[in-house]
Amino acid sequence: MDIRALRYFVTVVDQQSFTKAANALHLTQPTVSKMVQVLEHSFGVPLLAREGKRFSVTEAGDIVYQRAKQMIAVHARMKQEVDALQRVERGVLRMGLSPSTHSILAPVFAAYHAAYPNIELKLFEIGSNDTLGHLRDGVLEMGTVLDFPGAGDLWSEFESLPLFKSPMCLLAPRQSPWQGRASVALEELADSEFILYGDAFALNDMVTAACSEAGFTPKVSGRSGQWDFMASLVGLGVGVALLPKVFCDTLAPEDFTIAQVGSPALSWNVSLAWRRDGHLSFAAKAWLELARRSLQPR
């Protein structure tokens, strides 16, 4: 049913004249008459009892008139709400963030909130592997994921925007065999106990795959997804950890041994991902545009 036909019919009844209705609608009188006839045909009953140039509303016509006014009002509200979405004046942004990225992205979210204060931010602090699962099932629109060789053909399924790059470093207690070294080969850590990441974190997959390539399986003394906590455990002698340089640079160098990992060289490469065949809300598109302008891979 065409909403225009309902609007024309209501205007005819309100104006009590086809001619006046046509003038009010800025249409020709025959156009209005034809649309009312189409509406009557769709219901299979007369809506107006015509008497020469005059008419009265039938019982069926009164039902249609009352309901049509409600439908026109609902249609107007829907249009207002959709227009508000397009102007990013309302909506929800659902996004997955690895705990390691939230502090770096905080300024972007602050700028986004300032630009679009009525958008509700629903941020899920989870690892890359969980983020990918939630992107696939539609729970999230976008999320931060780790890009590394073991990710395979991930980018045939997802679009991406590179966000951060940082080499991985060994973080060990201050008194360690590698104290004063600028770099360390991964195979030198074969006998060390590792503080690794949880299974939900792609960093865990990257580190264990690199250790395997270096010829050993890491001995795990603990697991965490929180870099600060991992560093605290390292400082207390629980084990060593592999963490991005961008984080290690925030630590007091006199408290730790920090050396870049080589052979193989590892890098923390984080991208924002969204499904190639998925629909992005206006709120998500606005965040993506802001991120493109604000962030440079680093």
**28 shares a domain with 72:** yes
**167 shares a domain with 111:** yes
Q: Looking at this protein, which amino acid is placed at residue 193?
A: E
Query: Is 100 a domain residue?
Result: yes
**238 shares a domain with 174:** yes
**192 shares a domain with 110:** yes
pLDDT digit string (tens) for the chain, length 298 residues: 789 999 999 999 999 999 999 999 999 999 999 999 999 999 999 999 998 878 999 999 999 999 999 998 888 778 777 776 666 777 888 999 987 787 788 899 999 999 889 889 999 988 888 999 899 888 899 999 988 876 667 888 899 999 889 999 999 999 999 999 999 999 999 999 999 998 888 899 999 999 999 999 999 999 998 899 999 999 999 999 999 999 999 999 999 999 999 878 899 999 999 998 888 888 898 899 898 888 755 5
Query: Is 201 a domain residue?
Result: yes
Query: Is 294 a domain residue?
Result: no
Asked if residue 158 lies in contact with residue 272, where contact means CB atoms within 8 angstroms, the answer is no
pLDDT for 156 equals: 86
> How far is 160 from 154, CA to CA, in rounded Å?
10
> How far is 38 from 51, CA to CA, in rounded Å?
19
pLDDT for 11 equals: 94
Query: Is 293 a domain residue?
Result: no
Asked if residue 107 lies in contact with residue 295, where contact means CB atoms within 8 angstroms, the answer is no
| Owning domain of residue 225 | 95-270
**160 shares a domain with 72:** no
Query: Is 209 a domain residue?
Result: yes
pLDDT for 169 equals: 97
Residue 231 sits in a domain of what CATH number?
Answer: 3.40.190.290
Neighbours of 185 (CB within 10 A): 13
**79 shares a domain with 100:** no
Residue after which a domain boundary falls, among 86, 104, 135: 86
Q: Looking at this protein, which amino acid is placed at residue 42?
A: S
**205 shares a domain with 60:** no
**255 shares a domain with 191:** yes
**Pairing label, strands 142-146, 267-275:** antiparallel
Query: Is 70 a domain residue?
Result: yes
Beta bridge partners of 194: 220, 240
**117 shares a domain with 200:** yes
**215 shares a domain with 153:** yes
Query: Is 282 a domain residue?
Result: no
Query: Is 78 a domain residue?
Result: yes
Residue after which a domain boundary falls, among 36, 67, 86: 86
Q: Which residue's entry shows tokens 């009953």?
A: 45
Residue 55 sits in a domain of what CATH number?
Answer: 1.10.10.10
Asked if residue 85 lies in contact with residue 79, where contact means CB atoms within 8 angstroms, the answer is no
Residue after which a domain boundary falls, among 86, 108, 131: 86
Asked if residue 131 lies in contact with residue 96, where contact means CB atoms within 8 angstroms, the answer is yes
Q: Which residue's entry shows tokens 């998925």?
A: 278
Q: Give the distance, in angstroms, between the CA of residue 50 and the centroid of all CA atoms in the same chain.
A: 57
Provide the number of structural domains found in the chain: 2
Neighbours of 50 (CB within 10 A): 10
Asked if residue 164 lies in contact with residue 297, where contact means CB atoms within 8 angstroms, the answer is yes
Burial 1-35 (b: 16+ CB within 10 A, else e): eeeebbbbbbbbbebebbeebbeebeeeeeebbeb
